[in-house]
Amino acid sequence: MLMFDLHCHSLFSDGELLPSELVRRLEVKGYKAVCITDHADESNFEFIITQMKKVIGPINSTSDTKLLCGIELTHVHPERIEGLTRRARSLGAEIVVCHGETVVEPVIPGTNRAAIEAGVDILAHPGFITQEEAALAKEKGVRLELSGRKGHSLTNGHVLNMARLTGAVLVINSDGHAPGDFMDSEHARRVGMGAGLSAEEVEEIYQNNFDWLKKISREL
């Protein structure tokens, strides 16, 4: 199965690996691409994007796994999400993720809706997202995440149900912070099938999202 990850973390936030080691570990797993999306607010998002852009060229010139520049807006007040999304893209972030209303952290209510209205690329682990919000995500082209991460994955089944009802697009990501967090294809299938997808639907999600990636990234 075609493999990539669009939500994970390096030493630039709370991950354990340098970008070079993270990419190398995924190259060994046969990944086509990875987008490192370190946690950010106004205090560090410019630093993260600037530093990631420095390493993309050297890594991608020598690695079969292509590195994309991303960011995860995290515990940002809903009123600030739209402005930060625009600024992150202006600095060169290829994928903007927003830390959604997971059931295992005190994310501010209204974050899901604000992120969708801002047109982020991926709403990570959106918890008990409403059907109205999922329908808006479909309209805005915002992808809803099925998470491979412990805790955040508790509501994967609910997220899938909302996506089925509204036609919202799904993506499966690891939210990896450490070497053991990154999924091989069999683990990815288990995450999707545990939420209620068929094995064929899991593969279709990966293929469709990779086709989207090729349209938005110069690295692929």
Q: Which pLDDT score, from 0 to 100, does residue 219 have?
A: 87
Q: Quote the CA–CA distance of 100 and 123 in Å, as a whole number.
A: 6
Single-letter code of the amino acid located at 37:
T
Q: Which pLDDT score, from 0 to 100, does residue 41 have?
A: 98
Q: Quote the CA–CA distance of 171 and 69 in Å, as a whole number.
A: 17
Residue-range domains of the chain with CATH: 4-216 (3.20.20.140)
Q: Which pLDDT score, from 0 to 100, does residue 218 have?
A: 86
Q: Which pLDDT score, from 0 to 100, does residue 111 have?
A: 99
Structure tokens at 26: 């995924």
DSSP class of 39: E
Q: How far is CA 74 from the centre of its chain?
A: 12
Q: Are 117 and 82 in contact (CB under 8 A)?
A: yes
Phi, psi of 145 (to 5 degrees): -95, 135
Q: Quote the CA–CA distance of 120 and 97 in Å, as a whole number.
A: 6
Torsion of CA 124, 145, 60, 45, to 10 degrees: -10
Specify the long-range contacts of residues 25-32, CB closer than 8 Å, at least 24 apart: 25/179, 25/182, 26/65, 26/182, 27/63, 27/64, 27/65, 29/3, 29/182, 29/184, 30/3, 31/3, 31/4, 31/5, 31/65, 32/2, 32/3, 32/4, 32/64, 32/65, 32/66, 32/210, 32/220
Q: Per residue of the chain (220 residues), give pLDDT as tens.
A: 999 999 999 999 999 999 999 999 999 999 999 999 999 999 999 999 999 999 999 999 999 999 999 999 999 999 999 999 999 999 999 999 999 999 999 999 999 999 999 999 999 999 999 999 999 999 999 999 999 999 999 999 999 999 999 999 999 999 999 999 999 999 999 999 999 999 999 999 999 999 999 999 988 9
